Amino acid sequence: LSASFPLNPSFVIAPVNRRTFGTFVEHMGRCVYTGIYEPGHPTADKDGFRGDVLELTRELGATVVRYPGGNFVSGYRWEDGIGPVGERPVRRDLAWHSLETNEIGIDEFARWAKKADLEIMYAVNLGTRGVQEALDVQEYLNHPEGTRLSDLRRANGAKEPYDVAIFCLGNEMDGPWQTGHKTAHEYGRLAAETARALRSAQPGIELVACGSSSSSMPTFGAWEAEVLELAYDQVDYISAHAYYEEHDGDLASFLASAVDMDHFVASVVATADSVGARLKSTKKIGISFDEWNVWYLSRFEGAPTPEEWAVAPRVIEDHYNVADAVVVGSLLVSLLRHSDRVTAACQAQLVNVIAPIMTEPGGRAWRQTIFHPFALTARLAKGEVLRVEPRAATVETARYGTVAALDAVATHDPQTGEVSVFAVNRSTSEPTELTIDLTALPGLQVAETWTVADADPYARNTADDPERVVPRENGSASLSGGTLTLELPPVSWSAVRLV
Ligand code: AHR
């Protein structure tokens, strides 16, 4: 197969938003306990945080972290997690049918996030709670001093405010599974009033209203429209959540998952802009794609609810293969391509729970296959996102019809002249010969080339063989006369950096 496109530094979509490379830590399963936090682990620091996980988190290159949920947040009392640890209550977490010990609360998490160099995106509980509790947690987090809750934070050891700049107004409030689930009208009013209150305390903060929990929800589109009708002036973003998996051995459709993500983004943009038009507003609402990943959700949905209430049970610990990594890479291509409207995004989640990083309690931490395209994209995508219009061979898919075999995006840093290209070959059987016309970017040299591929698209990393799937140098890259050629193996994700 073949594919080609020209690259031109004038065809700018938008700056690369650093928040595109967000991650997500929910109090769920083993994400927090025995994930980021495990006192007694050989690598644990004085605060009980696993050093191996911290190191991998930094290597992953995530920039922002959504916290503390997820479905968990809709029943969470943030006050349970502050003050002397020994006095904190154990609570039932209805979302994941487990016990929350509250050993980790916002003060500990903020300490961890600082070590990991992550900005916190804080989600408030609008399931069982409302405007007052959102104001309270904002006061605790962000008010400098001299009020009850800011002084309490100071007494708990954090003299300086945490300066959280972005808040999520609840989580997936359209989902009937959500504790405190609401209609679009109920939620839109609550989101607008919570936003108004939070902003009157702190005008500069950024606020995310809940969009649909997936584009397959029966209320998708109508939900966004009604919520935004009620909260348009008060919020900056509407959220989007999407999880993909291979269904019934249909690898071709799975590899084309980004087609769905592209369509999802276009639909939310169209819906938001139509509300803006009706309201005669020139303001544009951004998309916070604050949950996305590969998740074998259908397996989880079929599993029975456990009878016991356990602390940090193993929940949705998916083990990812090469194809999953290719799809994760292609979803990042889609997110970058929409950088004009998708201005924040969080891969869900960071550790153990549908995660790029896995741990064994007391044992090692290791990289899943999906770690690699994320880490490379976060490291190499810099400056501005360039529009890429490929001419490419096509492949047939049962779910999305005929799609281009190649999916690609590029970035260009006007400061340094560096260019990075991210390319996916969706063919399950054929390599794609990619040709890039670089005549508008003279003088570049290939600096690095990486490909994630394997003769077995289902090959995985495990705790015992954590390096089975790693990015390898793509030796086929050749640049001459302003033309770069590169062979992309079937079912592959690649990145090239040129300087
Ligand atoms: O990331 C796992 C779960 O998926 C989150 O808690 C929820 O928001 C979504 O349904």
Q: Which atom of ligand 1 is nearest to the CA of 241?
A: 9
Cβ of 179 closer than 6 Å to ligand 1, yes or no, is no
Atom 2 of ligand 1, residue of closest alpha carbon: 70
Output the six-digit token pair for 309. 């209430």
Cβ of 26 closer than 6 Å to ligand 1, yes or no, is yes
Q: Phi and psi of 322, rounded to 5°?
A: -60, -45
Could you tell me which residues are beta bridge partners of residue 241? 291
Residue 387 DSSP class: P
For residues 372-394, average pLDDT: 97
Q: Give the CATH superfamily of 17-380.
A: Glycosidases (3.20.20.80)
Measured distance CA(394)–CA(396) in Å, rounded? 7
Residue 250 DSSP class: -
Cβ of 68 closer than 6 Å to ligand 1, yes or no, is no
pLDDT in tens, 451-481: 999 999 999 999 999 999 999 999 999 999 9
In CATH, what number does 3-8+386-498 get?
Answer: 2.60.40.1180
pLDDT at 302 over 80: no
Q: Phi and psi of 373, rounded to 5°?
A: -65, -30
Q: Which atom of ligand 1 is nearest to the CA of 69?
A: 6
- Please tell me the pTM assigned to this model: 0.97
Atom 1 of ligand 1, residue of closest alpha carbon: 348
Neighbours of 266 (CB within 10 A): 12
Cβ of 172 closer than 6 Å to ligand 1, yes or no, is yes
pLDDT of residue 116: 98
Q: Phi and psi of 374, rounded to 5°?
A: -65, -50
Cβ of 318 closer than 6 Å to ligand 1, yes or no, is no
- Write the ipTM: 0.99
For residues 487-497, average pLDDT: 98
Q: Which of 26, 119, 133, 172 is catalytic?
A: 172
Boundaries of every domain in the chain: 3-8+386-498, 17-380
Residue 5 DSSP class: E
Measured in Å, residue 239 CA sits from the centre of ligand 1 at 13
Q: Which atom of ligand 1 is nearest to the CA of 172?
A: 8
Q: Are 48 and 38 within 8 A, CB to CB?
A: yes
Measured distance CA(271)–CA(207) in Å, rounded? 18
pLDDT of residue 237: 98
Cβ of 171 closer than 6 Å to ligand 1, yes or no, is yes
Q: Whole-angstrom distance between the N-terminal and C-terminal Cα of the chain?
A: 28
pLDDT at 390 over 80: yes
Substitution site in 65, 71, 93, 296 for ligand 1 pocket (most atoms within 8 Å of beta carbon): 71
Instruction: Name the 3-class secondary structure at 126.
Output: coil
pLDDT of residue 303: 79
Q: Which atom of ligand 1 is nearest to the CA of 26?
A: 6
Cβ of 211 closer than 6 Å to ligand 1, yes or no, is no
pLDDT in tens, 191-239: 999 999 999 999 999 999 999 999 999 999 999 999 999 999 999 999 9
Measured in Å, residue 70 CA sits from the centre of ligand 1 at 5
Measured in Å, residue 451 CA sits from the centre of ligand 1 at 30
Q: Which residue bears the tokens 């988190």?
A: 57
Cβ of 213 closer than 6 Å to ligand 1, yes or no, is yes
Atom 4 of ligand 1, residue of closest alpha carbon: 70
Q: How confident is the model at residue 306 (pLDDT cuts 50, 70, 90)?
A: confident
Substitution site in 210, 291, 351 for ligand 1 pocket (most atoms within 8 Å of beta carbon): 291
Cβ of 127 closer than 6 Å to ligand 1, yes or no, is no
pLDDT in tens, 411-447: 999 999 999 999 999 999 999 999 999 999 999 999 9
235: enclosing H helix or E strand: none
Active site residue 172: yes
Question: Percent of the chain having pLDDT more than 90?
Answer: 98
Q: Are 20 and 379 within 8 A, CB to CB?
A: no
Our separate counts of H helices and E strands in the chain read 11, 27
Q: Are 426 and 482 within 8 A, CB to CB?
A: no
Q: Which of 139, 206, 224, 291 is catalytic?
A: 291
- Is the backbone of residue 176 left (phi > 0), alpha (psi -120 to 50) or beta? alpha
Active site residue 108: no
Amino acid, res. 422: F
Residue 83 DSSP class: S
Atom 5 of ligand 1, residue of closest alpha carbon: 70
pLDDT at 305 over 90: no
For residues 84-113, average pLDDT: 97
Measured distance CA(135)–CA(143) in Å, rounded? 10
Atom 3 of ligand 1, residue of closest alpha carbon: 70
Atom 6 of ligand 1, residue of closest alpha carbon: 70
Cβ of 349 closer than 6 Å to ligand 1, yes or no, is yes
Least confident of 142-146, 303-307, 365-369, 478-482: 303-307
Q: Which atom of ligand 1 is nearest to the CA of 72?
A: 6
Instruction: Name the 3-class secondary structure at 499.
Output: coil
Neighbours of 248 (CB within 10 A): 8
Could you tell me which residues are beta bridge partners of residue 402? 396
Q: Are 476 and 486 within 8 A, CB to CB?
A: yes
Atom 8 of ligand 1, residue of closest alpha carbon: 70
Q: Are strands 492-498 and 446-452 parallel, antiparallel or unpaired?
A: antiparallel
pLDDT of residue 300: 83
Cβ of 69 closer than 6 Å to ligand 1, yes or no, is yes
CA of 223: how far to CAs of 126, 219, 239, 279, 394, in Å?
Answer: 16, 5, 11, 17, 35
pLDDT of residue 467: 97
Measured distance CA(366)–CA(461) in Å, rounded? 8
pLDDT of residue 120: 98
Measured in Å, residue 241 CA sits from the centre of ligand 1 at 9
